[in-house]
Chains A and B, each alone.
Chain A
Amino acid sequence: MKKNTKKRYSKKNKAQASLFKQTLVIVFSLVIGTVLFFLVNKFFIPYSLPIPQTTAINWLTVHRHSLLVDYLRVAAFVFCFVLSMLGGWFLFVWKKRQ
């Protein structure tokens, strides 16, 4: 029963949602994701973090650059974009089904 529902859902979605519409949804979600990322970056990610104690001499220590902040930024980037793209698409499919 569950399988049939899923099949119908897939068929229905494929039949109704054109590539053009789905692309529009993804592009729109990407724009939302970009805005979301800039907001997260602005308000939640610190500009810098303390540098761990080390005797290393490299670009990071010379410029007193926190690598952890970079990891946080990339994690936020991934999170915002995947969340907005999947969220946008699922919302679109859900609205289609109704």
Chain B
Amino acid sequence: MVFVCMEKKTIIIILFELFFVFLWLFFVGQMSGTSALRGDINFLDEGQFAAWVNQIFHGEKMYRDFFTAYGPLQIYPVYLSALLFGKNMFSIRLGAGVLQIFLGIGISILVLKTLKVHPVLEAVTLFLILLIPGVFLRQWIGIFCILLTVEAFTKRSKSLALLSGSVLALSFLESVDIGALSLFTVGGYIGYISAFRKNPPHGSLIKFFILGVVLIAAIFAFFAQKDGWLIFYFKETIKTITSDSGINLANGMGLPAVSFERLYLSPIFFIRFIFSKAMLFYWALLYLLILLCISIFRFFLGLKGKENIISFLAIFYSILWFGTIIGRSGHYPIVIPIILVFSSYYLSQLFPFKKTNKTSDKIMGLLFLGVVLGYGLRYMAIYRFTDFPNIPGRKKVDISVSRVSPLGISKKQADEIKSLQEFFAKETKQGDTIFVLNNEPAIYFLVDREDPTAYGLPFLAYSKSMREDIVSALSKRKTQFVVEDSQAWAVDGISDSQRLPEVVSYVNKSYREYKMLGHYVVYKRI
């Protein structure tokens, strides 16, 4: 419906770009080294979705039987993908990765077109965000909501107001924090134009906006109630907002350390520090603040067009969102595509340097362009050691692994998965439960066995009562096998044995070491 506002030629270009983006993500992928068809499985990030889908297939319900801080709109598409393309990791990657990134990039293309970014800058921006991992629907749905709301209230379009209200409701279902920040941003905008604009929007526009929210909320409530998890969704969501934050944040960490002690050693050391990976978190925030100030300057210069309003609101929303990652600063890459898109908008205002004859202005314009490109390239440099591009046929991979194929993975990972599958197929039967002591929930999906606990990612059981819930579930379901990866990644440098003392103590007491499968240790109930 947003296409209604665009010319036919622009729509064709957008569709062509979307087609290209999808093909790229499907066959080549981003610099993280995975595409829809190739690349090793991330047992944690992809694995959590795989485990949730596995539990749904085993008759369990979201929020009621297993814990997740994500909205249903992040989990259900993955489940639908598995229904459509089969119970394999290809479906999981398609639903949890490719689709989410594709929709995020799709929204960024719409933003670039709406802001009328210079074609050269648009191409450069798209190139960067297509390669750099960071775009996800989760963040971009909020920007889509802002875009639609400004369009609706600028054009006074009831249909767009209905759509923007619907997208706001969907953003809540994608993620509660994104929904709340979107509501705050667009609510502030609607309140501002209603109070201060000379000809405020007609009441019917706001009614249509609210109708959009109610419509999606009603459909969701009906579906969730019918499926039996509506009340659990609200309970878990309130708990996530109130209890699982602050000091209780399971993956909470301090800000990246900044030490000035050794900066006096040499200028090279100083430059390396300024552009170090740890400092990129602060660069992202500084960049956002500069963009915010530019949008405010432009506002005071009388540039109050919808493009400037969209930019201001989107940057403001991104700064608010940045506030939510203070305790988990490693998530900052998610704002980088936002920075690149809106930098390219402001740059495109300078790009036709013909407007000015001043050499100094031309130099400044080129300098800004260099800064934006340099920023994007510095971030890309982080991935310089990844196996990119990961295209089919480039190297030998194993595509024969059950519940993974047609996704091709390395021989090493394939052998590990096969040995786990063979062991659990022999030692257990359908309906049996196993417990993975580390944060590698993909194993449940790969060996097709149920998780007796509510925590596919055990580190999320941060409190004593939650850890005791795990022990209680193991005891109640009489889980026969516990798997421990001796090479597991310790989240934030805190090992699982350190995080889960009650669980480890119970395993040591009630289980004995039974078999070694590579670096996996299997414990059997005594």
Give me the interface of A with B, judged by CB distance under 8 Å: 6-7, 10, 13-14, 18-20, 22-23, 26, 30, 51-52, 54-63, 65, 67-68, 70-71, 73-74, 77-78, 81-82, 85-86, 89, 93
12 more contacts with CB within 8 A, not counting A77-B285, A78-B289, are A19-B358, A55-B463, A55-B465, A57-B494, A57-B498, A58-B250, A59-B492, A68-B246, A70-B327, A74-B255, A81-B286, A82-B293
A59 to B254, CA, bound (A): 8
In the complex, what residues of A have CB within 8 A of residue B465's CB?
55
Interface flag for B396 (CB, 8 Å): no
Partner of A70 from B254, B285, B498 at Cβ < 8 Å: B254
B264-295, CB < 8 A from A:
282, 285-286, 289-290, 292-293
Does B285 lie within 8 Å of A58, measured CB to CB?
no
**Which of B361, B459, B501 counts the most chain A CB atoms within 10 A?**
B361
Task: Say if the beta carbon of B251 comes within 8 Å of chain A.
Answer: yes
Q: Which residues of B contact A81 (CB under 8 A)?
A: 286, 289
Q: B82: shortest Cβ distance to chain A, in Å?
A: 31
Query: Looking across the interface, which residue of chain A has its beta carbon closest to that of B368?
Result: A23
Q: Give the distance in Å from the alpha carbon of A81 to the alpha carbon of B294 in the complex.
A: 13
Q: Which of B446-472 contact A (CB under 8 A)?
A: 459, 462-465
* Smallest CB separation, B14 vs chain A (Å): 31
Contacts of B251 in A (CB 8 A): 58-59
Chain B interface size range = 35 or more
Q: Is B302 an interface residue (CB 8 A)?
A: yes
CB contacts (< 8 Å) of B296 on chain A: these are: 86
A-B pairs under 8 A by CB, number: 114
**Residue of A whose beta carbon sits closest to that of B293:** A85
What are the residues of chain A within 8 A of B498 when measuring CB–CB? Answer: 57, 62
Closest chain A residue to B329 by CB distance?
A70
Q: Does B489 contact A (CB under 8 A)?
A: no
Q: How far is the CB of B469 from chain A (nearest CB, A)?
A: 13
Q: Contact at B463–A56, with CB atoms within 8 Å?
A: yes
Closest to B359 in A: A20
Tell me the nearest residue of chain B to A57, going by C-beta: B499
Is B23 among interface residues, defined by CB-CB distance under 8 A?
no
Contact of B462 among A10, A26, A58, A68 (CB under 8 A): A58
Specify the chain B residue showing the minimal Cβ separation from A68. Answer: B246
B363: chain A residues within 8 A (beta carbon): 20
Asked if B319 contacts A78 (CB within 8 A), the reply is yes
Contacts of A77 in B (CB 8 A): 282, 285
B301 at the A interface (CB under 8 A): yes
Bound Cα distance from A68 to B246, whole angstroms: 8
A58-B251, A73-B255 as given contacts; A20 in contact with B285, CB under 8 Å? no
Contact assessment for A52 and B326 in the assembled complex, using a CB-CB cutoff below 8 Å: no
Q: How far is the CA of A86 from the CA of B299 in the complex (A)?
A: 12
Q: Among B285, B293, B463, which residue has the most Cβ atoms of chain A within 10 A?
A: B293
State the CA gap A78–B463 with chains docked (Å). Answer: 33
Residue contact A58 to B499, C-beta cutoff 8 Å: yes
Which residues of B (223-282) have their CB < 8 Å from a CB of A?
246-255, 282
Q: In the complex, what's the smallest C-beta–C-beta distance from B460 to chain A, in angstroms?
A: 10
Q: How far is the CB of A71 from chain B (nearest CB, A)?
A: 6
- For B500, what are the chain A residues with a Cβ–Cβ distance below 8 Å? 57
Q: Is B323 an interface residue (CB 8 A)?
A: yes
- Residue in A20, A68, A73 whose CB lies within 8 Å of B364: A20
CB contact between B246 and one of A6, A52, A93 (< 8 Å): that residue: A52
> When the two chains form their complex, are residues A26 and B364 in contact, meaning their CB atoms are under 8 A apart?
no
Closest chain B CB from A18 CB (angstroms): 6
**Bound complex: CA A86 to CA B361 (Å):** 21
List the B side residues contacting A89 at CB < 8 Å: 293, 297
Which residues of chain A come closer than 8 Å to B254, judged between CB atoms?
59-60, 63, 65, 67, 70
